Amino acid sequence: MIAKIKEFFGGMRLNLKFTFVIILITAIPVAIATVYIFFAVENNLINEQRNYMEYKISQDSGQITSCLDSINMSVQLFLADEETNEVLCKAQNGIKLGTKKAVEYQETNITNLERVVSNNPTLYSVRVYATSDTIQEMNPILFKKSRMENMSWGKEEDPAGWHFGYYDTAFSSLTTRQETKLVGLVTPIIDYRYGRIGYIEAAVIMQKMFPNMYINDNNEYALLVAGEDVYRGFNEPKDFGEYEDDIIGGEHLSKVDPKGEVAYIKTGGHDLMVSYYPIKKFGATLVSIMDISESIGEVRTSRNVVLMIIVLLFVGLAFVINHIVNRMLRQFYLILSGIKEVEEGNLNVRIEHTTNDEMGELGNNLNNMLDGIQALMQENIDREILAKNSEIRALQNQINAHFIYNVLESIKMMAEINEEYEMSDAITALGKLLRYSMRWVSRNVKLRDEMDYIHNYMILINLRYDYEVHLSVKIPEELLEQEIPKMSIQPIIENAILHGIEPLGEESTIYIKGWADGDDFFIEVTDAGTGMTDEELEDLEARMQGQIEPAGGKSNGIGLKNVHDRIRMSFGNDYGLKISTRIGCYTKVMVHLPSTTRKVD
C-alpha cells in the first residue's frame, strides 16, 4: 500500500505536488487553530463576563458602603441629640411639652435633624419613634409608638436590627410611597434612667442600596439572601426556580470568600455567571446572575460554520494553487531583495511593480511600513524638540523675581503699618506656592493640587492691588482627582489678571468651572475683564499654534502656548486650549483634557 502511494505521488506533476503539500500542511494547522481560537474565544467570553461580574461586585460594594455610611452617620447624629432624648424621657413618663417648649424644640432640633436628612440624597428617611403614644408628633422626624406599630417590623418583640424589603406603612398610602421597598436599620434609644425610650429608623430605598436587583435586562438579575429569607428584584426569569438550589442552595453560601467571588455554573441547560458578595453588616449575601447561554451558543455555532467554510475553501483552493504559487514566488524574491537592502540600512528602498495578490499586498505593506518608519523617526525628533522647548517655556512661565519682590514688599508694608498677623498668612501662602512651582518631580498632577496652588496664588495676587480680585470655583469633587499637566491653570489666571482685570483697575472676579463629558473633562476660566478684539484673538491663536513665533513683551502669549503645547504633548492633538472673548466684556479659556480613568494612547 505504501509502495503504491509512493508510486502515485512520484508520478504526479510538480504543480500537483505543490498543491498537495500546501493543502496538507495548511489545512491541518488551520483546522486545529480554528478549533483552538473558538475555544479561546469562548474562554475569553467567559472571562470577560467574569471580569464584568467582579466589576459589579466592586460597584455593589461602593454603593452599599455609601448607603451604610449614610445610615450609620445619621443614626449616630440622632443618638447624640440630647434634646430629643430628653423629650423621649418626658414622654416615657407621660409628660407633655408645653407649647413654647414644643415650638422651640421643633424650630431648632427638629429643623436641624430634618436638614441633615434632606441634605443626604441617599437616605429615604430617618425617624424617631417613642415607646409611648403620649409624645407630640413632629413630622417628619418624631412619631408616636402607634406609627412604628404600623410598620411590618414594628410588630416584632425586638425590632432592633436590619430589615429588608418592607414598605413605608407608618402613614396612609396617600402620604407615603407604599409601593417602594425599603431597607432600614432600627436602633434602640436607651436612657440610663428609664431604659429603652425610643427607636431610630434610618432607611434607604432598596433599589438605591441594591441597584443590580432592579436592572432592566432579561439576561441579568440579582437577589439578596439573608438567612432563610430571599429578597428578589423585578427581573427574575420564570425558570429560575429550576436551578435555584444549584446557585444558593446547600452550604455553598457559607463557603463564599468574604471579599466576594464569581463562579461559572452550568445548570438546567443554561450557562450562568454568578457573583456572590457577602455583606457582613447584614449577615446576608448579594447574588448577581447573568445568563450567557445565548452568547456561548453563538460562539459554538460560529465555530461549526467556520470549520465547514474552511473545508470548502481548501477544496476550491486546490484547483488554483499552482498558478498562485508561481506568482507568489516571483513577487516573494522581489520583496526579499528589498528586505535585505533594508537590513543594510537603506530605508529609501521601495517595492515596485507590485501585483494585486497577497504577495503584492505584502509588498505594499512593506512600502507603507517603511514610509511609516521614516515618518515616525521624524515625528520622534519633532516631539523631542517640542518637549525640550515646552520644558524651557514652563520654566520661563514660573513666577518671576519681580513678582516675588513686589509680593514680599507688600507683606512687609502690611506688617509695618497694621502690625497684624497677616504677614504670617501671606508668607505661608507664598511658601506653598514656591514649593509647588519648584517641585518638578512629575509631569502631571491632580487638579486638586493645582487648585490649592491657585488659591495660594490669588492670596498673594491680592496683596499687589488696592482692589480685590475674587475667585469663584465650581468644580465637582470627583473631578478634582483627575490629572492635568502641572502649572497649566496658573498661566491662564495670570493672563486674565494682567490683560483683562488690571487695565480696569477695579474689583473683579475670575470664574473657574469644571465638568465632565463622556471620556473627557473641561476646565473653563473666565474673567470679567476688557476682552479682546477679533484681530487680537486671531493673533493669539496663531501664536499658540506656532504659526507666529512669540516675541518678547507683556502680550506675547508664551504662557498660553506653553500650556497648550504641554497638554497636546501629554495627551495628543485632540486636546488643548480654546479661547473665546468679547471686547469690553470677558475672555474665556477652556482647557480640554481626557479623563485619567481611561487609558490615554
pLDDT at 599: 44
Longest dimension (CA), the chain: 119
pLDDT at 475: 93
**3-state SS, residue 178:** coil
Residue 310 vs residue 476, higher pLDDT? 476
* Amino acid letter for position 331: Q
pLDDT at 411: 67
Residue 240 lies in a domain: no
Give the Cα separation of 600 and 595 in Å (integer).
8
We report the CATH number of the domain holding residue 438 as 3.30.565.10
Where among 168, 193, 208 does a domain terminate?
A: 208
Residue 25 vs residue 582, higher pLDDT? 582
Residue 432 lies in a domain: yes
The answer on 338 and 425 residing in a single domain is no
Residue 230 lies in a domain: no
The answer on 189 and 118 residing in a single domain is yes
Give the Cα separation of 571 and 594 in Å (integer).
7
The answer on 185 and 139 residing in a single domain is yes
pLDDT at 401: 45
**375: its cell numbers:** 515618518
Q: How many angstroms separate the Cα of 373 from the Cα of each of 24, 369, 429?
A: 37, 6, 50
pLDDT at 600: 41
**3-state SS, residue 469:** strand
Peptide bond into 140 cis (omega under 30): yes
Residue 340 vs residue 477, higher pLDDT? 477
User: What is the DSSP secondary-structure string of 33-73?
Assistant: HHHHHHHHHHHHHHHHHHHHHHHHHHHHHHHHHHHHHHHHH
pLDDT at 315: 81
Residue 451's closest CA among 499, 488, 502?
Answer: 488
Most confident among 7-21, 247-261, 570-584 (mean pLDDT): 570-584
* Interval 98-127 mean pLDDT: 90
pLDDT at 543: 85
Three-state helix/strand/coil letters over 233-246? CCCCCCCHHHHHHH
Give the Cα separation of 464 and 430 in Å (integer).
13
Q: In this structure, what are the phi and psi dihedrals at residue 525, rounded to the nearest 5 degrees?
A: -115, 120
Where among 208, 232, 263 does a domain terminate?
A: 208
Give the Cα separation of 553 and 556 in Å (integer).
6
pLDDT at 601: 40
Give the Cα separation of 354 and 349 in Å (integer).
14
422-481 pLDDT, tens digit each: 665 676 666 666 666 655 545 688 999 889 989 988 888 888 888 899 999 999 999 999
Residue 81's closest CA among 5, 162, 191?
Answer: 191
pLDDT at 560: 86
* Interval 281-287 mean pLDDT: 87
**414: its cell numbers:** 502690611
Burial grade of 198 (CB within 10 A; 0-12, 13-18, 19 or more): buried
The answer on 506 and 414 residing in a single domain is yes
DSSP designation for 138 = B
Instruction: Look up the domain containing 120 and give its range.
Output: 81-208
* Interval 247-265 mean pLDDT: 82
> Are 77 and 116 in contact, with CB atoms under 8 Å apart?
yes
DSSP designation for 482 = S
* Interval 477-506 mean pLDDT: 89
Flag whether pLDDT at 397 surpasses 60: no
The answer on 405 and 427 residing in a single domain is yes
pLDDT at 268: 76
Q: What is the mean pLDDT of the chain?
A: 81
Residue 529's contacts (CB-CB under 8 Å, 6 or more residues apart) are 496, 499, 500, 501, 503, 504, 508, 586, 587
Give the Cα separation of 23 and 20 in Å (integer).
5
pLDDT at 598: 47
What's the whole-model pTM score? 0.48
- Name residue, grid cell 520654566: 395
- Name residue, grid cell 517595492: 351
The answer on 413 and 375 residing in a single domain is no
Residue 524 vs residue 412, higher pLDDT? 524
> What whole-number percentage of the chain has pLDDT above 90?
22
> Are 593 and 521 in contact, with CB atoms under 8 Å apart?
yes
pLDDT confidence bin for 389, thresholds 50/70/90: low
19-66 pLDDT, tens digit each: 777 777 887 888 888 888 888 888 898 899 889 888 888 988 899 999
Residue 507 lies in a domain: yes
Residue 358 lies in a domain: yes
User: What is the DSSP secondary-structure string of 193-254?
Assistant: TTEEEEEEEEEEEHHHH-GGGG---TTEEEEEEETTEEEE-S---TTHHHHHHHHH-TTTGG
> Are 521 and 595 in contact, with CB atoms under 8 Å apart?
yes
3-state helix, strand, coil in the chain (%, to 5): 50, 20, 30
Handedness of CA 31, 33, 37, 39 (dihedral sign): positive
Q: First CA to last CA across the chain, in angstroms?
A: 61
Residue 68's closest CA among 232, 161, 184, 214?
Answer: 184
**351: its cell numbers:** 517595492
Residue 399 vs residue 483, higher pLDDT? 483
User: What are residue 221's DSSP bridge partners?
Assistant: 289
Instruction: Residue count of the chain, please give it.
Output: 601
Residue 472's contacts (CB-CB under 8 Å, 6 or more residues apart) are 509, 510, 511, 512
535-568 pLDDT, tens digit each: 888 888 888 887 776 554 445 567 888 888 888 8
Most confident among 6-15, 117-126, 247-256 (mean pLDDT): 117-126
> Are 582 and 571 in contact, with CB atoms under 8 Å apart?
no
Give the Cα separation of 108 and 100 in Å (integer).
12
127-173 pLDDT, tens digit each: 999 998 888 889 889 999 999 999 999 988 899 999 998 998 888 76
Give the Cα separation of 487 and 439 in Å (integer).
11
The answer on 513 and 382 residing in a single domain is no
Residue 263 lies in a domain: no
The answer on 445 and 329 residing in a single domain is no
Most confident among 214-218, 237-241, 401-405 (mean pLDDT): 214-218
DSSP designation for 500 = I
Residue 77's closest CA among 193, 203, 206, 202?
Answer: 202
> Are 60 and 286 in contact, with CB atoms under 8 Å apart?
yes
Domain count, the chain: 3
Residue 251 lies in a domain: no
The answer on 136 and 178 residing in a single domain is yes
> Are 285 and 279 in contact, with CB atoms under 8 Å apart?
yes
**471: its cell numbers:** 475667585
* Interval 581-594 mean pLDDT: 92
Residue 306 lies in a domain: no
The answer on 481 and 343 residing in a single domain is no
How many alpha carbons fall within 13 Å on the CB side of residue 121?
2
The answer on 559 and 511 residing in a single domain is yes
Where among 154, 180, 208 does a domain terminate?
A: 208
The answer on 473 and 372 residing in a single domain is no
* Amino acid letter for position 40: A
493-502 pLDDT, tens digit each: 999 998 889 8
